[in-house]
């Protein structure tokens, strides 16, 4: 795949991200940061981002650069993933995908297969944490700080550390797989992890709270998916995969998986937040996350062997089962 085709697929992914006009400025800023951060060895993503945001890049031009059926399949797959990243698809995003379908000219059964797989992944997000779960009677009768103090004594720190590490290794492994569903599963598993940590400290959380918590840290769901996708595309995982449905680690998928660090930092910050009675300000949350993420990036290389070993044994059914159970 040439650089122009890499650029075309990334353009389509960014256009999909901005298809929903309700995207907040913070999400746009996060996508801009990611686009610039993916610049090494990639198309000039800073100018690409600006072209998309200022409407200088068009969907028609991007699609015209894709002649291979596999490239078109990947472009649509990634666009669907971006639109579904936050667990719901708006009318404007649906209209964008319909327009993309028409321009790509693929067979309808191929579109349907991609969308069906995406719907399965959306189920992961929908089941990652219960909706509006009632708080336990003991926690409900206490203030947030007192509730957390009551639960903190029951939390096994070693077990919690192990759980956060296991989620981090799992998400790092998912990032090393070439399949698109692997990247889409990372966010639901992060939601599940935060939900379980909150429960440990006496809080029953709904999905809306957890998504807001991630957004406060600066981890937008759409931008996080674009980051995972961009690294896979630029790193060659999508292009060098032995074929769709491949269940094992691609030979090209070696090295550091950055979702390990993101997940580890999320887990540790969530632990501090809920253990302290949810009293940390937004600024302090962002600062703590940034500092913890820096430390997690330094330690992630130690766990590359475990991450790669985990990736060699992952299947979609196993991942969906882990989220649901």
pLDDT at 288: 95
Distance CA 179, CA 4 (A): 22
Token output for 267: 């887990």
pLDDT at 141: 31
pLDDT at 135: 36
Q: By C-alpha distance, which of 216, 184, 188 is closest to 26?
A: 216
For the question of whether the overall pTM of this predicted structure is more than 0.85, the answer is no
The angle at the Cα of 263, spanning 299 to 163, to the nearest 5 degrees, equals 85
Q: Report the percent of the chain where pLDDT is more than 90.
A: 26
Cβ atoms 153, 89 nearer than 8 A: no
Distance CA 216, CA 209 (A): 10
pLDDT at 204: 81
Question: What does the pLDDT profile of the chain (325 residues) look like in tens digits?
Answer: 467 777 888 888 888 888 877 665 656 666 666 656 555 555 566 777 788 888 899 999 999 999 888 888 888 887 887 787 666 678 888 899 999 999 998 888 888 877 777 776 666 555 555 443 333 333 333 334 444 444 555 789 999 999 999 999 999 998 888 776 677 778 888 888 999 999 999 988 877 788 788 878 877 667 676 776 666 666 665 555 434 444 444 444 444 568 899 999 999 999 999 999 999 999 999 999 999 999 999 898 899 899 989 988 888 778 777 767 6
- Residue 162: strand, helix, or coil: helix
Q: Structural domain boundaries of the chain? A: 3-122, 129-324
Cβ atoms 75, 9 nearer than 8 A: yes
Max distance between CA atoms of the chain, in angstroms, equals 62
| Fold classified for 3-122 | TerB-like (1.10.3680)
pLDDT at 254: 43
Please report where in the chains the tokens 């072209």 appear, as a residue. Answer: 51
Q: Tens digits of per-residue pLDDT, 72-118?
A: 888 888 788 778 766 667 888 889 999 999 999 888 888 887 777 77
pLDDT at 6: 75
pLDDT at 31: 65
pLDDT at 71: 82
Contacts of 119 (CB under 8 A, 6+ apart): none
Cβ atoms 121, 181 nearer than 8 A: yes
pLDDT at 188: 82
């Amino acid at each position: 795949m040439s650089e122009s085709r890499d650029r075309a697929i990334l353009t389509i992914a960014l256009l999909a991200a901005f298809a929903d006009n309700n995207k907040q400025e913070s999400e746009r800023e996060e996508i801009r940061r990611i686009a610039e951060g993916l610049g090494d060895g990639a198309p000039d993503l800073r100018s690409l981002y600006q072209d998309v945001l200022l409407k200088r890049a068009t969907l028609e031009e991007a699609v015209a650069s894709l002649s291979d059926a596999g490239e078109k399949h990947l472009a649509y797959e990634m666009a669907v993933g971006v639109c579904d990243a936050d667990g719901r698809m708006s009318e404007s995003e649906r209209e964008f995908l319909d327009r993309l379908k028409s321009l790509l000219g693929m067979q309808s059964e191929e579109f349907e297969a991609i969308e069906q797989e995406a719907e399965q992944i959306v189920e992961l997000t929908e089941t990652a944490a219960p909706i509006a779960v009632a708080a336990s009677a003991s926690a409900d009768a206490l203030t947030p700080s007192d509730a957390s103090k009551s639960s903190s004594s029951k939390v096994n720190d070693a077990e919690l550390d192990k759980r956060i590490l296991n989620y981090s290794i799992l998400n790092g492994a998912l990032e090393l797989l070439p399949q698109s569903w692997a990247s889409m599963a990372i966010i639901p598993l992060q939601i599940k992890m935060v939900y379980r940590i909150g429960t440990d400290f006496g809080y029953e959380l709904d999905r809306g709270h957890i998504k807001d918590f991630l957004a406060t840290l600066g981890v937008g769901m759409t931008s996080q998916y674009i980051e995972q996708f961009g690294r896979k595309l630029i790193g060659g995982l999508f292009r060098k995969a032995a074929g769709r449905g491949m269940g094992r680690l691609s030979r090209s998928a070696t090295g550091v998986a950055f979702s390990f660090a993101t997940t580890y930092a999320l887990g540790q910050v969530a632990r501090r937040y809920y253990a302290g009675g949810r009293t940390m300000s937004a600024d302090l949350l962002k600062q703590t996350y940034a500092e913890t993420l820096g430390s997690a990036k330094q330690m992630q290389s130690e766990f590359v062997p475990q991450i790669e070993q985990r990736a060699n044994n992952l299947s979609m059914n196993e991942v969906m089962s882990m989220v649901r159970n």
